[in-house]
Amino acid sequence: MTKTLLTLIATAMLSSTAIAAEIKPALVYGTGGKFDKSFNEAAYNGAEMYKKETGTEYRDFEPTSDTQGEQAIRNFASKGFNPVIAVSFAWTSAMEKVAAEYPDTKFVIVDSVVELPNVRSVVYNEAEGSYLVGLLAGMASKTGKVGFVGGMDIPLIRKFGCGYAQGAKSVKSDMQVFQNMVGTTGAAWNDPVRAGELTKNQIDQGADVIYAAAGASGLGVLQTAADNKKFSIGVDSNQNHVHPGSVLTSMVKRVDLAVYNAYKDLAEDKFTAGVQSNGIKDGGVVYAVDDNNKALITPEMKAAADKATADIIAGTVKVHDYMTDNKCPL
Amino acid sequence: MDYFDIFVSILGSTIRLSIPLIFTALAGLFSERAGIVDIGLEGKMLAAAFAAACLAYVSGSAWIGLLGGIGISIGFSMIHGFASITNRGNQIVSGVALNFIAAGLTIVLGQAWFSQGGRTPGLTGDARFSPIILPGADFMRDVPIVGPLYANVISGNNILTYLAFAAVPLSWWILYRTRFGLRLRAVGENPAAVDTAGISVSWLRFRALIVTGILGGFAGAYLAIAQSAAFINNMSAGKGYIALAALIFAKWKPVPVMLACLLFGFLDAVANFMQGKSIPMIGEVPVQIFQALPYVLTCILLAGFIGIAHPPKAGGVPYVKER
């Protein structure tokens, strides 16, 4: 009897606070910060999109160091937030621990895979997206040399570089692709000075389009390219606005959709755990065109990119994924 | 790309990477020569970078940013002075404390003001020091050997770069050719003698720390508003400690300090350039080897070639007037 009463009260309280759907979403960013103009900002945009549509408030947290992620995820889970979304591969082990402790809470991790029955792992086929921007870079390059600056030297980032190189070489087989990594530790995501130096280096060697896949370090790449009047390519979010006229395009991962869909699915009771892989086919990775770069993408480039998109979807062009065998075929 | 172009490119990179080291090492030179060990150079640089980026963003003027950087750096110096000169505290502890304060405070304030994960918003136009193209650079470019060197290494740097190189002879002149410099060196060697001559040891040391603050401010401003276009978390990344190593390496003398900093900058530039390149006969060398090279070299040179580096005698010892 008491139990029924309590449940009734609880239901009444819940329905009075939440109007659209009874979910209490939470979001944990990566250490780059909410407004990094890149990956985390995309997640933020997704949560905002859901909030605007349904009026459901969400809570978020910006860890400033690698040790805070687990605390934040556990904190949200223990306070009854559901689903709890953590963006960044850095929270993989934290997610494994916390998700096992709270089997009734739904979790989502972006950019990594956690094999638990209550976790949805959202991963992207960055190789395909990078192939497309590589193709555009190859067509925009006048010198026949293009560059890639990665953040931390990990297989995920090599995957970006490998897809990019394949795309660039599909334009001209003798295309030269310089590849550099900012560093080998987490500090590499936050070192725009070194990223800028590496970019300058590549420009001195003749590269005229440089693709950054380096988190906040990437801002150094875009800056240096703009200072030297060369093209750059942004990553994760649409970064075309950072230096209009210099950023050729951006390889956008629709992290916003991943966040939005997770909230929506749970609200509509359609949440599924397991690995969700997003490629070109599902619109999970795209190259960004907006007012800032419309003039830079010529009709021929657009046609070639459209054709490559169709070919990848049809399966006639296969983009090699570096992470499958830790090798790049080029 | 032939070898000469590579050389020019690396040289240009060397200059850009050395400047914050030169400013910081000169900053350390003044304070250590006056007998104040300054391990807080890193913190000064970081705090100055943050202040410079914030003020440059708000005001839209790089010069105001620079002044702000210098101001906060002098402020940090004065705290160091208050702790270690006035209150005779341990200079290492005070310096380390300042480093921690700078590392934490910049992120917290940056996050509170701009909510970009501790970064400050990007700067454009006049809010940054942009490269200056020296007269005739484009004309000279086609002249063999000298042309590319002039156009790519000497020209095309920002004003702070030229100021850094100007600061080296200026520091030498101040230290060795002025009364202030003579007294400053004396107070680092034998403060009791300076005191006997009727000169205030504390005031002299405070003045040395003001100079340190000014130079530290330049270093921070260079990082945030000349080399980059924003403040980034912990962007000094240990440069303060490397500058300190360069200072010891150079035996506390201005011109050798510059050369030591250029050497560290050069090794850094080579490390960046060699990444992923293969060397004839050896093949591709892991980039970590090049990244470790400056430190390995420091050990070897310090142990084998430089000989004993004598620090100023009174360094690290608080001066007590009467014992």
Q: Judge whether A117 lies within some domain.
A: yes
* B170-185 pLDDT tens trace: 999 999 999 999 999 9
Secondary element (H or E) of residue A85:
strand A84-87
The answer to whether A184 faces chain B, any CB pair under 8 Å, is yes
Q: Which domains does chain B have, with CATH numbers?
A: 3-305 (1.10.3470)
Candidates A260, A253, A223, A316; CA nearest to A54 is A260
Least confident of A73-77, A213-217, B78-82, B303-307: B303-307
- Same domain? For A171 and A291 the reply is yes
Instruction: Return the SS3 of B61.
Output: coil
CATH at residue A222:
3.40.50.2300
Q: What pLDDT score does A16 carry?
A: 42
Q: What pLDDT score does B281 carry?
A: 67
Q: Judge whether A17 lies within some domain.
A: yes
* B120-133 pLDDT tens trace: 888 888 888 888 88
Q: What pLDDT score does A18 carry?
A: 43
Q: Whole-number mean pLDDT of chain A?
A: 87
* The pLDDT of residue A202 is above 80: yes
Q: Which residues pair with A210 in a beta bridge?
A: A147, A232
pTM over 0.95: no
The residues near A100 (Cβ < 8 Å, ≥ 6 apart) are A116
Gap from A77 CA to chain B (nearest CA, Å) = 23
* Residues of chain A neighbouring B115 (CB-CB closer than 8 A): 33-35
Could you list the residue range(s) of the whole structural domain that residue A196 is in? Answer: 126-253+284-325
- Same domain? For A94 and A241 the reply is no
Q: In sequence order, what DSSP letters do the residues of B122-186 get, joined into one string?
A: P--GGGS---B--TTHHHHTTSTTHHHIIIIIISSB-HHHHHHHHHHHHHHHHHHHSHHHHHHHH
- Same domain? For A27 and A102 the reply is yes
* A151-176 pLDDT tens trace: 888 888 999 999 999 999 999 989 99
- Same domain? For A237 and A295 the reply is yes
Over residues A48-72, the mean pLDDT reads 89
* A304-320 pLDDT tens trace: 999 999 999 988 888 88
d(CA A318, CA A326): 16
* Residues of chain B neighbouring A64 (CB-CB closer than 8 A): 107, 111, 117-118, 233
* The pLDDT of residue A19 is above 70: no
* B229-266 pLDDT tens trace: 889 888 887 889 889 888 888 889 999 999 999 988 98
Q: Judge whether A330 lies within some domain.
A: no
- Same domain? For A218 and A136 the reply is yes
* B51-62 pLDDT tens trace: 999 999 999 999
* A211-233 pLDDT tens trace: 999 888 888 999 999 988 999 99
- Same domain? For A190 and A315 the reply is yes
Cα–Cα distance list, B161 to A13, B6, B167, B228 (Å): 64, 21, 10, 14
- Mutation for B interface: A190, A217, A239, A241, most B CBs within 10 A: A190
CB pairs under 8 A between A and B: 92
Q: Whole-number mean pLDDT of chain B?
A: 87
Q: What pLDDT score does A6 carry?
A: 52
- Same domain? For A211 and A318 the reply is yes
Q: Judge whether A308 lies within some domain.
A: yes
What number is the ipTM of this complex?
A: 0.81
- Same domain? For A116 and A203 the reply is no
A64–B235 CB contact, under 8 Å: no
Q: In sequence order, what DSSP letters do the residues of B205-257 get, joined into one string?
A: HHHHHHHHHHHHHHHHHIIIIIISSS--TTTTTTHHHHHHHHHHHTTT-HHHH
A181–B287 CB contact, under 8 Å: yes
* The pLDDT of residue B306 is above 80: no
* Residues of chain A neighbouring B275 (CB-CB closer than 8 A): 180-181, 198
- Same domain? For A104 and A217 the reply is no
Q: What pLDDT score does A324 carry?
A: 83
Give B141 or B104, the one with higher predicted confidence.
B104
Q: What pLDDT score does A152 carry?
A: 87
- Same domain? For A102 and A144 the reply is no
* The pLDDT of residue B116 is above 80: no
Query: Chain A, 93-122: which have a CB under 8 Å from a chain B CB?
Result: none
Gap from B251 CA to chain A (nearest CA, Å) = 29
* The pLDDT of residue B323 is above 70: no
Q: How many domains does chain A have?
A: 2
Taking CA atoms, what residue in B is nearest to A178? B276
- Same domain? For A88 and A199 the reply is no
* The pLDDT of residue A9 is above 70: no
* Residues of chain B neighbouring A224 (CB-CB closer than 8 A): none
- Same domain? For A173 and A291 the reply is yes
A15: pLDDT confidence band, cut at 50, 70 and 90? very low
A14: pLDDT confidence band, cut at 50, 70 and 90? very low
Least confident of A156-160, A239-243, B5-9, B205-209: B5-9
* Residues of chain A neighbouring B7 (CB-CB closer than 8 A): none
